[in-house]
Protein backbone atom coordinates (compact mmCIF):
# COMPACT_ATOMS: atom_id res chain seq x y z
CA UNK A 1 0.00 0.00 0.00
CA UNK A 2 1.46 3.36 -1.02
CA UNK A 3 1.81 6.36 1.30
CA UNK A 4 -0.72 8.21 -0.87
CA UNK A 5 -3.30 5.44 -0.39
CA UNK A 6 -2.74 5.47 3.39
CA UNK A 7 -3.20 9.27 3.46
CA UNK A 8 -6.36 9.06 1.39
CA UNK A 9 -7.79 6.32 3.61
CA UNK A 10 -7.03 8.34 6.75
CA UNK A 11 -8.52 11.51 5.23
CA UNK A 12 -11.70 9.65 4.56
CA UNK A 13 -11.88 8.29 8.11
CA UNK A 14 -13.60 11.40 9.52
CA UNK A 15 -15.99 11.48 6.55
CA UNK A 16 -16.99 7.87 7.22
CA UNK A 17 -17.34 8.55 10.93
CA UNK A 18 -19.67 11.49 10.26
CA UNK A 19 -21.87 9.45 7.93
CA UNK A 20 -21.85 6.33 10.09
CA UNK A 21 -25.45 5.23 10.61
CA UNK A 22 -24.82 3.15 13.72
CA UNK A 23 -22.69 3.90 16.76
CA UNK A 24 -20.27 1.13 15.76
CA UNK A 25 -17.63 3.33 14.16
CA UNK A 26 -15.07 0.50 13.70
CA UNK A 27 -17.51 -1.59 11.68
CA UNK A 28 -18.55 1.34 9.53
CA UNK A 29 -14.95 2.24 8.85
CA UNK A 30 -13.64 -1.23 7.96
CA UNK A 31 -16.63 -1.94 5.71
CA UNK A 32 -16.22 1.32 3.76
CA UNK A 33 -14.67 0.99 0.27
CA UNK A 34 -12.24 3.86 0.98
CA UNK A 35 -10.77 2.00 3.94
CA UNK A 36 -10.21 -1.31 2.15
CA UNK A 37 -6.50 -0.83 1.25
CA UNK A 38 -5.64 0.13 4.84
CA UNK A 39 -7.74 -2.72 6.25
CA UNK A 40 -6.00 -5.22 3.96
CA UNK A 41 -2.53 -3.82 4.70
CA UNK A 42 -3.08 -4.08 8.46
CA UNK A 43 -4.97 -7.37 8.15
CA UNK A 44 -7.81 -5.99 10.28
CA UNK A 45 -10.81 -8.25 10.97
CA UNK A 46 -13.93 -7.15 9.06
CA UNK A 47 -17.20 -8.05 10.77
CA UNK A 48 -19.83 -8.59 8.12
CA UNK A 49 -22.75 -6.27 8.81
CA UNK A 50 -25.83 -8.33 9.71
CA UNK A 51 -28.79 -8.19 7.33
CA UNK A 52 -31.96 -7.47 9.20
CA UNK A 53 -35.61 -7.52 8.21
CA UNK A 54 -36.38 -4.32 6.29
CA UNK A 55 -40.10 -4.65 5.67
CA UNK A 56 -42.91 -6.48 7.43
CA UNK A 57 -43.81 -8.13 4.12
CA UNK A 58 -40.34 -9.63 3.66
CA UNK A 59 -40.28 -13.40 2.94
CA UNK A 60 -38.99 -15.40 5.90
CA UNK A 61 -36.76 -17.54 3.67
CA UNK A 62 -35.46 -17.11 0.16
CA UNK A 63 -32.83 -18.80 -1.97
CA UNK A 64 -32.14 -22.49 -1.57
CA UNK A 65 -32.66 -24.60 1.53
CA UNK A 66 -31.18 -28.04 2.10
CA UNK A 67 -33.13 -30.40 4.33
CA UNK A 68 -31.85 -33.54 5.99
CA UNK A 69 -33.22 -36.01 8.48
CA UNK A 70 -31.84 -38.77 10.68
CA UNK A 71 -34.52 -41.24 9.77
CA UNK A 72 -32.11 -44.02 10.83
CA UNK A 73 -33.48 -46.66 8.52
CA UNK A 74 -37.12 -45.84 9.17
CA UNK A 75 -39.10 -45.41 5.99
CA UNK A 76 -41.57 -42.99 7.47
CA UNK A 77 -40.73 -39.41 8.08
CA UNK A 78 -40.95 -38.21 11.67
CA UNK A 79 -43.79 -35.96 12.84
CA UNK A 80 -41.20 -33.19 13.17
CA UNK A 81 -40.06 -33.67 9.55
CA UNK A 82 -43.63 -33.21 8.34
CA UNK A 83 -43.92 -29.96 10.30
CA UNK A 84 -40.49 -28.71 9.17
CA UNK A 85 -41.19 -29.49 5.51
CA UNK A 86 -44.59 -27.85 5.68
CA UNK A 87 -42.98 -24.64 7.03
CA UNK A 88 -40.14 -24.71 4.52
CA UNK A 89 -42.62 -25.29 1.70
CA UNK A 90 -44.58 -22.18 2.71
CA UNK A 91 -41.52 -20.02 1.93
CA UNK A 92 -40.37 -19.08 -1.54
CA UNK A 93 -37.08 -20.99 -1.08
CA UNK A 94 -36.31 -23.94 -3.35
CA UNK A 95 -35.96 -27.08 -1.26
CA UNK A 96 -33.27 -29.69 -1.78
CA UNK A 97 -32.15 -32.95 -0.24
CA UNK A 98 -28.79 -34.70 -0.67
CA UNK A 99 -28.56 -36.86 -3.78
CA UNK A 100 -27.48 -40.47 -3.29
CA UNK A 101 -28.76 -40.63 0.26
CA UNK A 102 -31.18 -43.54 0.31
CA UNK A 103 -32.71 -42.59 3.62
CA UNK A 104 -33.37 -39.12 2.24
CA UNK A 105 -34.91 -40.66 -0.87
CA UNK A 106 -37.24 -42.72 1.32
CA UNK A 107 -38.14 -39.61 3.21
CA UNK A 108 -38.84 -37.70 0.02
CA UNK A 109 -41.03 -40.49 -1.27
CA UNK A 110 -43.01 -40.21 1.93
CA UNK A 111 -43.15 -36.42 1.54
CA UNK A 112 -44.96 -36.27 -1.76
CA UNK A 113 -46.76 -33.15 -0.64
CA UNK A 114 -43.56 -31.12 -0.83
CA UNK A 115 -41.65 -30.30 -3.99
CA UNK A 116 -38.14 -31.28 -2.91
CA UNK A 117 -35.42 -31.76 -5.49
CA UNK A 118 -32.30 -33.87 -5.41
CA UNK A 119 -29.12 -31.89 -4.95
CA UNK A 120 -27.45 -31.87 -8.35
CA UNK A 121 -25.25 -28.78 -8.43
CA UNK A 122 -22.46 -29.22 -5.90
CA UNK A 123 -21.38 -25.59 -6.22
CA UNK A 124 -24.61 -23.95 -5.17
CA UNK A 125 -24.89 -22.01 -1.92
CA UNK A 126 -27.65 -22.48 0.61
CA UNK A 127 -29.51 -19.91 2.65
CA UNK A 128 -30.51 -22.62 5.16
CA UNK A 129 -29.35 -26.07 6.22
CA UNK A 130 -32.14 -27.60 8.29
CA UNK A 131 -31.79 -30.97 9.98
CA UNK A 132 -34.39 -33.09 11.74
CA UNK A 133 -32.53 -34.99 14.48
CA UNK A 134 -35.62 -36.14 16.36
CA UNK A 135 -35.17 -39.76 15.22
CA UNK A 136 -31.68 -40.06 16.72
CA UNK A 137 -31.75 -42.50 19.62
CA UNK A 138 -28.08 -42.99 20.59
CA UNK A 139 -24.82 -41.00 20.49
CA UNK A 140 -23.60 -43.34 17.69
CA UNK A 141 -26.44 -42.16 15.49
CA UNK A 142 -25.14 -38.59 15.74
CA UNK A 143 -22.88 -39.63 12.84
CA UNK A 144 -25.85 -38.94 10.55
CA UNK A 145 -25.84 -35.32 11.78
CA UNK A 146 -22.08 -35.11 11.16
CA UNK A 147 -22.48 -36.56 7.65
CA UNK A 148 -25.13 -34.03 6.70
CA UNK A 149 -23.33 -30.91 7.93
CA UNK A 150 -19.80 -32.12 7.05
CA UNK A 151 -20.92 -32.38 3.44
CA UNK A 152 -22.95 -29.17 3.31
CA UNK A 153 -21.34 -26.58 5.59
CA UNK A 154 -18.94 -25.35 2.91
CA UNK A 155 -21.98 -24.55 0.77
CA UNK A 156 -23.40 -22.19 3.34
CA UNK A 157 -24.04 -18.70 1.95
CA UNK A 158 -23.33 -15.50 3.89
CA UNK A 159 -26.20 -14.47 6.23
CA UNK A 160 -27.56 -18.02 6.14
CA UNK A 161 -29.09 -20.24 8.81
CA UNK A 162 -28.30 -23.62 10.35
CA UNK A 163 -31.18 -25.07 12.35
CA UNK A 164 -31.24 -28.45 14.08
CA UNK A 165 -34.47 -29.81 15.51
CA UNK A 166 -34.16 -32.36 18.30
CA UNK A 167 -36.24 -33.64 21.18
CA UNK A 168 -36.11 -32.05 24.60
CA UNK A 169 -33.69 -34.27 26.60
CA UNK A 170 -36.09 -34.46 29.56
CA UNK A 171 -38.75 -36.01 27.33
CA UNK A 172 -36.51 -38.95 26.33
CA UNK A 173 -37.10 -42.23 28.17
CA UNK A 174 -33.64 -43.73 27.52
CA UNK A 175 -30.48 -42.07 28.91
CA UNK A 176 -28.70 -42.75 25.59
CA UNK A 177 -31.26 -40.73 23.65
CA UNK A 178 -31.37 -38.00 26.28
CA UNK A 179 -27.58 -37.72 26.05
CA UNK A 180 -27.68 -37.59 22.23
CA UNK A 181 -30.28 -34.81 22.35
CA UNK A 182 -28.23 -32.87 24.89
CA UNK A 183 -25.17 -33.36 22.68
CA UNK A 184 -26.89 -31.33 19.96
CA UNK A 185 -26.46 -28.23 22.15
CA UNK A 186 -22.67 -28.60 22.02
CA UNK A 187 -22.79 -29.17 18.28
CA UNK A 188 -24.82 -26.02 17.70
CA UNK A 189 -22.69 -23.87 20.00
CA UNK A 190 -19.47 -24.82 18.23
CA UNK A 191 -20.96 -24.61 14.76
CA UNK A 192 -22.26 -21.11 15.55
CA UNK A 193 -18.71 -20.05 16.39
CA UNK A 194 -17.35 -21.48 13.14
CA UNK A 195 -19.87 -19.75 10.85
CA UNK A 196 -20.17 -16.39 12.66
CA UNK A 197 -17.66 -14.78 10.28
CA UNK A 198 -20.21 -15.27 7.49
CA UNK A 199 -22.85 -13.46 9.58
CA UNK A 200 -24.55 -16.87 9.56
CA UNK A 201 -26.28 -18.32 12.63
CA UNK A 202 -26.81 -21.80 14.09
CA UNK A 203 -29.59 -22.61 16.55
CA UNK A 204 -31.31 -25.63 18.07
CA UNK A 205 -34.99 -26.25 18.68
CA UNK A 206 -35.82 -28.90 21.30
CA UNK A 207 -39.30 -30.29 20.94
CA UNK A 208 -41.48 -32.07 23.43
CA UNK A 209 -43.12 -34.98 21.53
CA UNK A 210 -46.60 -33.87 20.53
CA UNK A 211 -45.52 -30.24 20.10
CA UNK A 212 -44.64 -30.57 16.42
CA UNK A 213 -47.58 -28.37 15.36
CA UNK A 214 -46.03 -25.56 17.45
CA UNK A 215 -42.74 -25.62 15.56
CA UNK A 216 -43.69 -23.16 12.84
CA UNK A 217 -43.35 -19.93 14.82
CA UNK A 218 -39.77 -20.46 16.12
CA UNK A 219 -38.75 -22.04 12.82
CA UNK A 220 -39.98 -19.12 10.71
CA UNK A 221 -38.32 -16.69 13.11
CA UNK A 222 -34.96 -18.48 13.07
CA UNK A 223 -34.97 -18.83 9.29
CA UNK A 224 -35.76 -15.13 8.82
CA UNK A 225 -33.61 -12.03 9.09
CA UNK A 226 -35.55 -11.12 12.25
CA UNK A 227 -33.18 -13.41 14.15
CA UNK A 228 -29.94 -12.00 12.68
CA UNK A 229 -28.32 -11.54 16.14
CA UNK A 230 -29.50 -14.88 17.62
CA UNK A 231 -26.92 -17.64 17.41
CA UNK A 232 -25.77 -20.63 19.46
CA UNK A 233 -29.13 -20.73 21.26
CA UNK A 234 -31.61 -23.45 22.21
CA UNK A 235 -35.39 -22.96 22.00
CA UNK A 236 -37.69 -25.22 24.04
CA UNK A 237 -41.06 -25.96 22.51
CA UNK A 238 -43.56 -27.53 24.91
CA UNK A 239 -46.73 -29.43 24.21
CA UNK A 240 -49.85 -27.41 24.99
CA UNK A 241 -53.47 -28.03 24.28
CA UNK A 242 -55.89 -25.89 22.34
CA UNK A 243 -53.37 -23.80 20.40
CA UNK A 244 -54.13 -24.45 16.76
CA UNK A 245 -55.06 -20.86 15.85
CA UNK A 246 -54.76 -19.94 12.21
CA UNK A 247 -52.21 -17.17 11.92
CA UNK A 248 -52.00 -14.10 9.76
CA UNK A 249 -48.20 -14.18 9.42
CA UNK A 250 -48.08 -10.65 7.93
CA UNK A 251 -49.74 -9.09 11.00
CA UNK A 252 -49.95 -11.76 13.70
CA UNK A 253 -50.87 -9.28 16.44
CA UNK A 254 -53.94 -7.71 14.82
CA UNK A 255 -56.66 -7.25 17.48
CA UNK A 256 -54.08 -7.64 20.27
CA UNK A 257 -53.20 -4.99 22.84
CA UNK A 258 -49.66 -4.79 24.20
CA UNK A 259 -48.25 -2.91 27.20
CA UNK A 260 -44.56 -1.97 27.00
CA UNK A 261 -42.79 -0.40 30.00
CA UNK A 262 -39.80 1.93 29.55
CA UNK A 263 -41.03 2.55 26.01
CA UNK A 264 -39.82 6.09 25.25
CA UNK A 265 -36.41 5.12 23.92
CA UNK A 266 -33.84 2.38 23.28
CA UNK A 267 -35.03 -1.20 23.37
CA UNK A 268 -38.52 -0.32 24.69
CA UNK A 269 -39.14 2.05 21.79
CA UNK A 270 -38.06 -0.61 19.26
CA UNK A 271 -40.35 -3.15 20.96
CA UNK A 272 -43.30 -0.74 20.71
CA UNK A 273 -42.58 -0.06 17.03
CA UNK A 274 -42.23 -3.76 16.20
CA UNK A 275 -45.39 -4.84 18.01
CA UNK A 276 -47.31 -2.00 16.31
CA UNK A 277 -45.86 -3.10 12.95
CA UNK A 278 -47.23 -6.58 13.65
CA UNK A 279 -50.68 -5.11 14.20
CA UNK A 280 -50.89 -4.61 17.97
CA UNK A 281 -52.50 -1.64 19.64
CA UNK A 282 -49.76 -0.39 21.98
CA UNK A 283 -49.93 1.08 25.48
CA UNK A 284 -46.61 2.76 26.22
CA UNK A 285 -45.40 3.50 29.72
CA UNK A 286 -42.51 5.65 30.91
CA UNK A 287 -41.66 8.18 33.60
CA UNK A 288 -42.46 11.92 33.67
CA UNK A 289 -39.10 13.17 32.23
CA UNK A 290 -39.75 11.03 29.10
CA UNK A 291 -43.31 12.39 28.63
CA UNK A 292 -42.74 14.34 25.44
CA UNK A 293 -40.82 11.52 23.64
CA UNK A 294 -43.36 8.96 24.83
CA UNK A 295 -46.38 10.94 23.65
CA UNK A 296 -44.78 11.61 20.25
CA UNK A 297 -44.10 7.88 19.83
CA UNK A 298 -47.60 6.90 20.98
CA UNK A 299 -49.13 9.34 18.46
CA UNK A 300 -46.96 7.98 15.64
CA UNK A 301 -47.92 4.38 16.46
CA UNK A 302 -51.58 5.16 17.06
CA UNK A 303 -51.13 3.99 20.64
CA UNK A 304 -51.72 5.32 24.12
CA UNK A 305 -49.11 6.86 26.49
CA UNK A 306 -49.15 6.26 30.24
CA UNK A 307 -46.88 8.40 32.39
CA UNK A 308 -46.17 6.38 35.51
CA UNK A 309 -43.23 5.32 37.63
CA UNK A 310 -43.19 1.53 38.01
CA UNK A 311 -41.12 1.83 41.18
CA UNK A 312 -44.05 2.88 43.37
CA UNK A 313 -47.58 1.83 44.17
CA UNK A 314 -49.00 5.12 42.91
CA UNK A 315 -47.43 4.41 39.50
CA UNK A 316 -48.88 0.91 39.44
CA UNK A 317 -52.37 2.19 40.33
CA UNK A 318 -52.11 4.83 37.61
CA UNK A 319 -51.09 2.17 35.11
CA UNK A 320 -54.05 -0.06 36.02
CA UNK A 321 -56.48 2.87 35.86
CA UNK A 322 -55.17 4.06 32.50
CA UNK A 323 -55.18 0.56 31.00
CA UNK A 324 -58.74 -0.05 32.16
CA UNK A 325 -59.82 3.32 30.80
CA UNK A 326 -58.30 2.58 27.40
CA UNK A 327 -59.03 -1.04 26.64
CA UNK A 328 -60.16 -3.08 29.65
CA UNK A 329 -57.96 -6.04 28.85
CA UNK A 330 -54.56 -6.62 27.33
CA UNK A 331 -52.96 -9.56 25.57
CA UNK A 332 -49.23 -8.88 25.88
CA UNK A 333 -47.09 -7.40 28.69
CA UNK A 334 -43.46 -6.51 28.05
CA UNK A 335 -41.55 -5.76 31.24
CA UNK A 336 -38.72 -3.74 29.73
CA UNK A 337 -38.08 -0.72 32.01
CA UNK A 338 -34.72 -1.08 33.68
CA UNK A 339 -31.88 0.93 35.12
CA UNK A 340 -28.20 0.53 36.05
CA UNK A 341 -26.56 2.18 39.06
CA UNK A 342 -23.05 0.68 38.96
CA UNK A 343 -20.57 0.62 41.87
CA UNK A 344 -18.45 -2.13 43.37
CA UNK A 345 -20.18 -3.81 46.29
CA UNK A 346 -18.01 -2.10 48.92
CA UNK A 347 -18.89 1.35 47.53
CA UNK A 348 -22.53 0.68 46.71
CA UNK A 349 -24.97 2.62 48.88
CA UNK A 350 -28.37 1.23 49.85
CA UNK A 351 -30.12 3.59 47.46
CA UNK A 352 -28.31 2.20 44.42
CA UNK A 353 -29.00 -1.37 45.53
CA UNK A 354 -32.67 -0.80 46.33
CA UNK A 355 -33.57 1.26 43.26
CA UNK A 356 -32.10 -1.29 40.81
CA UNK A 357 -33.67 -4.27 42.58
CA UNK A 358 -36.99 -2.48 42.77
CA UNK A 359 -37.31 -1.26 39.18
CA UNK A 360 -35.66 -4.24 37.46
CA UNK A 361 -37.17 -7.04 39.52
CA UNK A 362 -39.87 -6.15 42.07
CA UNK A 363 -41.73 -3.94 39.58
CA UNK A 364 -41.79 -6.81 37.05
CA UNK A 365 -43.43 -8.96 39.68
CA UNK A 366 -45.85 -6.23 40.83
CA UNK A 367 -47.03 -5.34 37.33
CA UNK A 368 -47.40 -8.94 36.12
CA UNK A 369 -49.28 -10.09 39.20
CA UNK A 370 -51.58 -7.05 39.33
CA UNK A 371 -52.55 -7.55 35.67
CA UNK A 372 -53.12 -11.28 36.19
CA UNK A 373 -55.00 -10.93 39.51
CA UNK A 374 -57.31 -8.25 38.13
CA UNK A 375 -57.84 -10.42 35.03
CA UNK A 376 -56.68 -7.54 32.84
CA UNK A 377 -54.21 -9.88 31.15
CA UNK A 378 -56.34 -12.20 29.05
CA UNK A 379 -56.39 -15.99 29.11
CA UNK A 380 -53.86 -17.09 26.46
CA UNK A 381 -51.85 -13.90 27.00
CA UNK A 382 -48.10 -13.35 26.79
CA UNK A 383 -45.62 -11.99 29.35
CA UNK A 384 -42.09 -11.16 28.18
CA UNK A 385 -39.49 -9.96 30.67
CA UNK A 386 -36.21 -8.32 29.71
CA UNK A 387 -33.30 -9.76 31.68
CA UNK A 388 -29.61 -9.47 30.70
CA UNK A 389 -26.62 -11.73 30.03
CA UNK A 390 -25.08 -10.00 33.04
CA UNK A 391 -27.77 -11.72 35.08
CA UNK A 392 -26.35 -15.02 33.84
CA UNK A 393 -22.63 -14.24 33.97
CA UNK A 394 -22.33 -11.50 36.57
CA UNK A 395 -20.42 -8.30 35.94
CA UNK A 396 -17.82 -6.28 37.86
CA UNK A 397 -19.50 -3.31 39.52
CA UNK A 398 -23.02 -4.64 38.91
CA UNK A 399 -23.95 -6.79 41.90
CA UNK A 400 -27.27 -4.93 42.08
CA UNK A 401 -28.02 -5.19 38.34
CA UNK A 402 -26.92 -8.85 37.99
CA UNK A 403 -28.92 -9.82 41.08
CA UNK A 404 -32.02 -8.17 39.66
CA UNK A 405 -31.63 -9.68 36.18
CA UNK A 406 -30.92 -13.20 37.52
CA UNK A 407 -34.03 -12.76 39.66
CA UNK A 408 -36.04 -12.01 36.50
CA UNK A 409 -34.99 -15.37 35.02
CA UNK A 410 -35.97 -17.14 38.24
CA UNK A 411 -39.30 -15.31 38.30
CA UNK A 412 -40.07 -16.40 34.73
CA UNK A 413 -39.33 -20.03 35.56
CA UNK A 414 -41.46 -19.97 38.70
CA UNK A 415 -44.37 -18.04 37.19
CA UNK A 416 -44.56 -20.33 34.17
CA UNK A 417 -46.30 -22.98 36.24
CA UNK A 418 -48.70 -20.46 37.77
CA UNK A 419 -49.61 -18.80 34.47
CA UNK A 420 -49.90 -22.05 32.50
CA UNK A 421 -53.28 -22.63 34.18
CA UNK A 422 -54.60 -19.62 32.25
CA UNK A 423 -52.65 -20.56 29.10
CA UNK A 424 -50.51 -17.46 29.56
CA UNK A 425 -46.90 -17.94 28.46
CA UNK A 426 -44.00 -16.18 30.15
CA UNK A 427 -40.48 -15.97 28.72
CA UNK A 428 -37.33 -13.98 29.40
CA UNK A 429 -34.98 -12.31 26.95
CA UNK A 430 -31.39 -11.75 28.01
CA UNK A 431 -29.82 -9.16 25.71
CA UNK A 432 -26.06 -8.97 25.33
CA UNK A 433 -24.41 -5.83 24.06
CA UNK A 434 -27.13 -3.75 22.37
CA UNK A 435 -26.40 -0.33 20.86
CA UNK A 436 -28.52 1.99 23.04
CA UNK A 437 -28.09 5.02 25.29
CA UNK A 438 -27.44 2.56 28.15
CA UNK A 439 -24.38 1.09 26.37
CA UNK A 440 -23.28 4.47 24.96
CA UNK A 441 -22.57 5.39 28.58
CA UNK A 442 -19.94 2.59 28.88
CA UNK A 443 -16.30 3.83 28.61
CA UNK A 444 -14.91 3.55 25.02
CA UNK A 445 -12.53 0.60 25.48
CA UNK A 446 -14.98 -1.55 27.47
CA UNK A 447 -17.67 -0.68 24.93
CA UNK A 448 -15.47 -1.73 22.00
CA UNK A 449 -14.62 -5.03 23.73
CA UNK A 450 -18.28 -5.53 24.69
CA UNK A 451 -19.49 -5.35 21.11
CA UNK A 452 -16.72 -7.56 19.63
CA UNK A 453 -16.67 -10.56 22.00
CA UNK A 454 -19.40 -12.52 20.30
CA UNK A 455 -19.52 -14.89 17.33
CA UNK A 456 -20.81 -12.15 15.01
CA UNK A 457 -18.19 -9.58 16.18
CA UNK A 458 -20.65 -6.70 16.49
CA UNK A 459 -23.20 -5.20 18.83
CA UNK A 460 -26.89 -5.94 18.49
CA UNK A 461 -29.53 -3.35 17.64
CA UNK A 462 -32.67 -2.62 19.71
CA UNK A 463 -34.74 -4.22 16.94
CA UNK A 464 -32.98 -7.56 17.55
CA UNK A 465 -34.51 -7.65 21.03
CA UNK A 466 -37.80 -6.31 19.67
CA UNK A 467 -38.06 -9.08 17.04
CA UNK A 468 -37.50 -11.70 19.75
CA UNK A 469 -40.28 -10.10 21.82
CA UNK A 470 -42.58 -10.16 18.77
CA UNK A 471 -41.80 -13.85 18.24
CA UNK A 472 -42.75 -14.72 21.85
CA UNK A 473 -45.85 -12.49 21.58
CA UNK A 474 -47.09 -14.28 18.44
CA UNK A 475 -50.27 -16.33 19.03
CA UNK A 476 -48.48 -19.22 17.27
CA UNK A 477 -45.80 -19.26 20.00
CA UNK A 478 -47.98 -21.01 22.59
CA UNK A 479 -45.39 -23.80 22.93
CA UNK A 480 -42.59 -21.40 23.88
CA UNK A 481 -42.72 -21.27 27.67
CA UNK A 482 -40.16 -20.44 30.36
CA UNK A 483 -37.39 -19.90 27.82
CA UNK A 484 -34.55 -17.49 28.52
CA UNK A 485 -33.45 -16.41 25.07
CA UNK A 486 -30.07 -14.71 24.85
CA UNK A 487 -30.09 -12.01 22.18
CA UNK A 488 -26.35 -11.59 22.17
CA UNK A 489 -24.70 -12.96 19.02
CA UNK A 490 -23.38 -15.77 21.26
CA UNK A 491 -21.49 -13.42 23.56
CA UNK A 492 -18.62 -15.03 25.43
CA UNK A 493 -20.04 -13.57 28.65
CA UNK A 494 -21.84 -16.32 30.53
CA UNK A 495 -21.68 -18.68 27.56
P1 LIG B 1 -32.66 2.73 28.38
O2 LIG B 1 -32.29 3.31 27.05
O3 LIG B 1 -32.08 3.31 29.59
O4 LIG B 1 -34.25 2.66 28.48
C5 LIG B 1 -34.91 2.19 29.65
C6 LIG B 1 -36.19 2.96 29.78
O7 LIG B 1 -36.86 2.58 31.01
C8 LIG B 1 -35.94 4.45 29.84
O9 LIG B 1 -36.87 5.16 29.08
C10 LIG B 1 -36.09 4.70 31.34
O11 LIG B 1 -36.34 6.05 31.68
C12 LIG B 1 -37.25 3.79 31.67
N13 LIG B 1 -37.41 3.68 33.11
C14 LIG B 1 -36.44 3.69 34.06
N15 LIG B 1 -36.98 3.65 35.29
C16 LIG B 1 -38.31 3.61 35.14
C17 LIG B 1 -39.39 3.56 36.04
N18 LIG B 1 -39.22 3.58 37.36
N19 LIG B 1 -40.66 3.52 35.56
C20 LIG B 1 -40.85 3.52 34.22
N21 LIG B 1 -39.87 3.59 33.31
C22 LIG B 1 -38.60 3.62 33.75
O23 LIG B 1 -32.29 1.19 28.40
P24 LIG B 1 -32.22 0.11 27.24
O25 LIG B 1 -30.80 -0.09 26.89
O26 LIG B 1 -33.21 0.38 26.18
O27 LIG B 1 -32.65 -1.18 28.09
C28 LIG B 1 -33.99 -1.69 28.14
C29 LIG B 1 -33.98 -2.97 28.96
O30 LIG B 1 -33.04 -3.88 28.41
C31 LIG B 1 -33.57 -2.76 30.41
O32 LIG B 1 -34.32 -3.60 31.25
C33 LIG B 1 -32.11 -3.17 30.42
O34 LIG B 1 -31.69 -3.58 31.68
C35 LIG B 1 -32.12 -4.31 29.41
N36 LIG B 1 -30.81 -4.59 28.80
C37 LIG B 1 -30.19 -3.69 27.98
C38 LIG B 1 -28.96 -4.03 27.41
C39 LIG B 1 -28.24 -3.11 26.47
O40 LIG B 1 -27.17 -3.50 25.97
N41 LIG B 1 -28.74 -1.93 26.17
C42 LIG B 1 -28.37 -5.25 27.69
C43 LIG B 1 -29.02 -6.13 28.54
C44 LIG B 1 -30.25 -5.79 29.08
P45 LIG B 1 -35.07 6.93 32.26
O46 LIG B 1 -33.85 6.56 31.53
O47 LIG B 1 -35.47 8.33 32.07
O48 LIG B 1 -34.90 6.52 33.69
Would the CB of 401 count as within 6 Å of ligand 1? no
Q: What is the pLDDT of residues 36-91, one digit of tens each?
A: 777 677 666 678 999 999 888 889 999 999 999 887 556 567 889 989 999 999 99
CATH of 257-487 among 3.90.1150.10, 3.30.470.10, 1.20.140.10, 3.40.50.720 = 3.40.50.720
Query: 224 CA distance to ligand 1 centroid (A)?
Result: 27
Counting from 1 in the atom list of ligand 1, the atom nearest the Cα of 431 is: 43
Burial level of 444, CB count in 10 A (0-12/13-18/19+)?
Answer: exposed
Matching fold, domains 64-237 and 257-487: yes
CA-based torsion, 265, 267, 273, 279: positive or negative? negative
Q: What is the pLDDT of residue 43?
A: 65
Alpha-carbon distances of 167 from 81, 134, 138, 183, 351, rounded to whole Å: 12, 5, 12, 11, 46
Q: 285-341 pLDDT, tens per residue?
A: 999 999 999 999 999 999 999 999 999 889 999 999 988 887 789 999 999 999 999
**pLDDT confidence of residue 146:** 96
CA distance 90 to 27: 35
CA of 212 to the centre of ligand 1 (A): 36
CA of 178 to the centre of ligand 1 (A): 39
**Residue ranges in the chain modelled with pLDDT below 70:** 1-23, 39, 42-45, 72-76, 98-123, 242-245, 495
Sorted by where each begins, the domain ranges of the chain are 3-42, 64-237, 257-487
Q: Does the Cβ of 438 fall within 6 Å of ligand 1?
A: yes
Closest atom of ligand 1 to CA, residue 335: 32
pLDDT of 407 reads 98
Question: What local confidence, expressed as pLDDT, does residue 494 receive?
Answer: 73
Q: Is the dihedral of CA 432, 456, 384, 314 positive or negative?
A: positive
Long-range pairs of 87-92 with CB within 8 A, sequence gap ≥ 24: 87/215, 87/216, 87/219, 87/220, 87/223, 88/61, 88/114, 88/128, 88/130, 89/113, 89/114, 89/115, 91/59, 91/60, 91/61, 91/62, 91/65, 91/223, 92/59, 92/61, 92/62
Helix extents (H) in 224-362: 266-277, 291-301, 313-327, 350-357
268 CA distance to ligand 1 middle (Å): 7
Residues annotated as catalytic are: 401
Nearest CA to ligand 1 atom 10: 262
Helices (H) and strands (E) in the chain, counts: 18, 14
Q: Which CATH number fits domain 64-237: 3.40.190.10, 1.10.132.10, 3.40.50.720, 3.30.450.260?
A: 3.40.50.720
**Closest residue CA from atom 9 of ligand 1:** 262
Choosing from 259, 267, 489 the residue with most ligand 1 atoms within 8 A of its CB, the one to mutate for a pocket test is 267
CA distance 378 to 105: 47
Residue nearest to atom 16 of ligand 1 (CA): 337
Q: Phi, psi (5° rounding) for residue 244?
A: -95, 50
Q: Are strands 201-207 and 234-237 parallel, antiparallel or unpaired?
A: parallel
Is the C-beta atom of 433 inside 6 A of ligand 1?
Answer: yes
Residue 241 · residue 230 · CB < 8 Å: no
Ligand 1 mutation pick, 339, 356, 449, max ligand atoms within 8 A of CB = 339
Beta carbon of 126 within 6 Å of any ligand 1 atom: no
* CA atoms of 463 and 456, how far apart (whole Å): 16
Amino acid sequence: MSKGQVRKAIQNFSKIQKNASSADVYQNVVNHPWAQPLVKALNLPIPLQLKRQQQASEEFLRGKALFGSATTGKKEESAAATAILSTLASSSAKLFFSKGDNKQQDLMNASKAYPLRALTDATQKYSALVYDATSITTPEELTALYDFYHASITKLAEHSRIIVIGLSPSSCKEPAQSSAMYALEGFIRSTAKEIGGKAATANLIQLEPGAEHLLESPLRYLLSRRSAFITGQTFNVHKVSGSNESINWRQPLLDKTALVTGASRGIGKAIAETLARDGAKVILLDIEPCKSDLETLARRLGGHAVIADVSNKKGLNKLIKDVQKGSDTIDIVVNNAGITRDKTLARMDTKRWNSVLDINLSAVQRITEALVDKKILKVGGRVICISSINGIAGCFGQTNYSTSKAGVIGYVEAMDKVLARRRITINAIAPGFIETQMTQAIPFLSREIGRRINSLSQGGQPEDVAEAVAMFANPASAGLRANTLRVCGQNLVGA
